[in-house]
Chain A
Amino acid sequence: MIIQVQNLVKRYGDLLALDHFNFQVNDGEVFGLLGPNGSGKTTAINCILSLLKYDKGTIEVFGRPMAPDAYESKRNIGIVMQNVAVFMELRVEENIDYFCGLYVEDNKVRKQLVEEAIEFVGLGEFRKFYPKKLSGGLLRRLNIACGIAHKPKLLILDEPTVAVDPQSRNRILEGIRNLNQQGTTIVYTSHYMEEIEQLCSRIVIMDKGKTLATGTKEELKAMINAGETVSVELYVLRPEDLARIRQLPHVMGARYENSRLTVRYGGGKHNLIGLLDYLKSQELSFGQVYSEQPTLNDVFLEITGKHLRD
């Protein structure tokens, strides 16, 4: 067990930011903390890192209670903050060297680690640049390089892709996957469900400081009734045909608007084939067909009655 958080309670005055929050992170996994803005993700991370006082609960990292002077544990943690936290007066390579030097004493080893980190985030041609000369995406990569250069066992990334261009985002996500493959345990917080789905092997969904659900994405999706959603372009659909479609196996609902038929399933397999067979049998000509699997947003919607980005 890398992290164990039990019954964590944190109040900001009258506001209950974390309400008996629980989760565990196992060695070698990519653990996702998913929740809308203000759900308590960053507060939880700051409590784990011993930056914030909390009112109740226990936090253990690497099997030991976490405290500001738990230097042995801290030495094995890397952190990538939500906001870019680098020195504007230091060049790219100097920033990485500075933060690496807080963890690694040996100069030769440190130099090698800095080179590897620069290569890892693809900032080789920008190594002499000052941060203010970097684009938002490159700055985020520098932020990550500063957090990973010392090769931590546990890497915590708090919304590292906010305001990042798609190219840099893909590079960052690919890098995180590589880090995990090389043995680093990752804790990843985001309100982007696509990223969490892409990256994380286990996820905790939280809202208003509470744990709503924990599990793999398959386990989370299995908790709700929603299956795939099929959309078909149809130029004509009689009301009696719509009624019959609603009677097909596993169909939870169907609607026809703007020449588009949308059918929601509550499970089952090969639903798309069944629907197309029915349309052919009724000689209904159709255009493009789309099939979407349920997302974590559907899970969140099912549990809370609101969308993740509300």
Chain B
Amino acid sequence: MSSWRSQANICGTKGVVNVFVHVFCYRLKCLVRNKEQVFWTLLYPLLMATLFFFAFGHITLEYEQFSPIPVAVVESNAFRQDVTFQQVLNNLSQPGEKQLLELVVVPQAKAEELLASGDIDGIITVDETIRLTVSQLRQSQTDKLQSGLNQSILKAFLDEYAQNTMTVKRILAQNPAAQEQLIAQLNVKHSYTKQISYSDAEPNTMLNYFFSLIAMTCLYGAFWGLRNTTDVQADISDLGARRSVAPTHKLQTVVCEAAAALVVSFGEVLLLLVYLALPLRIDLGNQVGYILLTCFVGCLTGVAFGTYVGTFFRKSEGLKVAILIAVIMLLSFLSGLMYVNMRDIVARKLPFLSFVNPATLITDAFYSLYVYANHTRFFINIGLLSAIAVILCMASFVRLRREKYASL
């Protein structure tokens, strides 16, 4: 072994960058090798995403997919003689993208049997008038939750047909010469309301669960922030004491390690996004840059929150972890993680809370990106979130800058 003393004091002036890289890389290793924390901050959100997908994902699909409405027409002389109505029904039953009805013409008894068994959603009976018979809302044999939507469509269709028929008869009775013009007018649809799309996406309430889940995962960065502060404070841990004796500026160490925590937290959220977008095929919108910005600022807020809790409370690490879990779950609940309408309830009853709850801000940022083409609301959310992160960082810095302690 070479002389112990001969190589002493070889370091000279340390390069700040070298130390930054050294501390940063080792901090990354420490964080990603912490299996327990990786489970809670990565695998747990992935499990929850899977759970949400199986719980809510197919409900979303049921709402989004439209299939022709099964309906029966009762065989009768009146129906056979009403050629116009027959033509209309035939047109609407033609296979293709625009098929509205799946039509069967059967006797009355058979039609009632089909309705009772849930094979059809309604019976159309033609006599002096055209009548619709539907069953009460029920769960069918296919176990699909029926909402009454199909029955409403049938009723709307028959009402419109009856109204148009009555109008045509009245006009022709008063002015037979208008027949040609009338036929032309009937083929033109007038709309007196204008649909304005704020984005390319369809509104989907169930997505809020996934937005809140992403928000919760961002805030789970707090666990990494807490771990950092535990290891850097001499009055909290022996590691903190040993590192405080080293010739490295404390603030430099804190910044390096916060950067490592941010990278780990952001990486975990990216994995969650990829999992949601690819295997689960959850549509999070197409504004990838803004989505990543939201996640980054969310993770920054999470790490800053953990750092603050780690510096503010001089309690055991276990208690601090419990505080973090409780607070993050509460914030996530208020943002709609467990009950999708909670965010709206809080916005109405306690609007101030919506502006200071980071989970709500992240969720709302995602929502506004998804729903609105305009980014005003998104940037308000990001601005508020950044302000919270800055306040937490500054408060933590005030506590962390202490270099001597009254007791260890």
Interface members, chain A 28-76 (any B CB < 8 Å)? 46, 49-53, 68-69, 71-72, 74-76
In the bound complex, CA of A116 to CA of B30 (Å): 24
**Residue pair A51, B405 in contact (C-beta under 8 Å):** yes
**Residue pair B29, A94 in contact (C-beta under 8 Å):** yes
* Interfacial chain A residues near B62, Cβ < 8 Å: none
> Given contacts A105-B18, A152-B8, A182-B4, could you give 11 more A-B pairs where the C-beta distance is less than 8 Å?
A12-B406, A52-B408, A75-B247, A83-B238, A85-B238, A85-B241, A89-B30, A98-B22, A98-B26, A116-B1, A116-B2
In the bound complex, CA of A113 to CA of B4 (Å): 10
Q: Confirm or deny: B404 has a beta carbon within 8 angstroms of a beta carbon on chain A.
A: yes
Interface members, chain B 367-408 (any A CB < 8 Å)? 403-408
21 A-B pairs in the complex with CB atoms less than 8 angstroms apart? A50-B404, A51-B245, A68-B244, A75-B247, A77-B245, A79-B242, A81-B238, A83-B238, A85-B238, A86-B239, A87-B26, A89-B30, A89-B31, A89-B33, A90-B30, A101-B22, A101-B23, A102-B23, A105-B18, A184-B4, A184-B5
In the bound complex, CA of A109 to CA of B9 (Å): 12
**Given contacts A116-B2, A184-B4, A75 and B245 within 8 Å (CB-CB):** no
Q: Which residues of A contact B (CB under 8 A)?
A: 12, 46, 49-53, 68-69, 71-72, 74-77, 79, 81, 83-87, 89-90, 94, 98-99, 101-106, 109, 113, 116, 119-120, 146-147, 150-153, 178-179, 182-184
**Residue pair A102, B19 in contact (C-beta under 8 Å):** yes
In the bound complex, CA of A71 to CA of B4 (Å): 21
**Residue pair B7, A109 in contact (C-beta under 8 Å):** yes
**Residue pair A69, B3 in contact (C-beta under 8 Å):** no
In the bound complex, CA of A53 to CA of B235 (Å): 12
**Residue pair B26, A90 in contact (C-beta under 8 Å):** yes
Q: Confirm or deny: B243 has a beta carbon within 8 angstroms of a beta carbon on chain A.
A: yes
**Residue pair B241, A51 in contact (C-beta under 8 Å):** yes
* Interfacial chain B residues near A102, Cβ < 8 Å: 19, 22-23, 243, 246-248
**Residue pair A51, B234 in contact (C-beta under 8 Å):** yes
- 0/1 per residue, B2-16, Cβ < 8 Å to A? 111101111110110
Q: Which residues of B contact A (CB under 8 A)?
A: 1-5, 7-12, 14-15, 18-19, 22-23, 26, 29-31, 33-34, 231, 234, 237-239, 241-250, 403-408
A88 nearest CB across to chain B (Å): 9
- The secondary structure that dominates the A interface is loop
**Residue pair B8, A153 in contact (C-beta under 8 Å):** yes
What 7 A-B pairs come out closest when comparing CB atoms? A183-B5, A182-B4, A68-B403, A85-B238, A102-B246, A71-B247, A89-B33
B242 nearest CB across to chain A (Å): 4
In the bound complex, CA of A76 to CA of B11 (Å): 10
**Residue pair B405, A151 in contact (C-beta under 8 Å):** no
In the bound complex, CA of A49 to CA of B403 (Å): 11
Nearest A residue to B243, CB-CB: A102
In the bound complex, CA of A102 to CA of B243 (Å): 8
Kindly identify which residue among B4, B249, B250, B407 contacts A183, using a CB–CB cutoff of 8 Å. B4
**Residue pair B404, A85 in contact (C-beta under 8 Å):** no
* Interfacial chain B residues near A153, Cβ < 8 Å: 5, 8-9
* Interfacial chain A residues near B18, Cβ < 8 Å: 105
In the bound complex, CA of A146 to CA of B241 (Å): 13
* Interfacial chain B residues near A120, Cβ < 8 Å: 1
In the bound complex, CA of A120 to CA of B248 (Å): 25
A29 nearest CB across to chain B (Å): 14
* Interfacial chain A residues near B7, Cβ < 8 Å: 109, 113, 151
* Interfacial chain B residues near A119, Cβ < 8 Å: 1
A51 nearest CB across to chain B (Å): 5
* Interfacial chain A residues near B15, Cβ < 8 Å: 105
* Interfacial chain B residues near A99, Cβ < 8 Å: 242, 246
In the bound complex, CA of A116 to CA of B234 (Å): 28
B306 nearest CB across to chain A (Å): 17
In the bound complex, CA of A109 to CA of B4 (Å): 13
B20 nearest CB across to chain A (Å): 11
In the bound complex, CA of A81 to CA of B246 (Å): 13
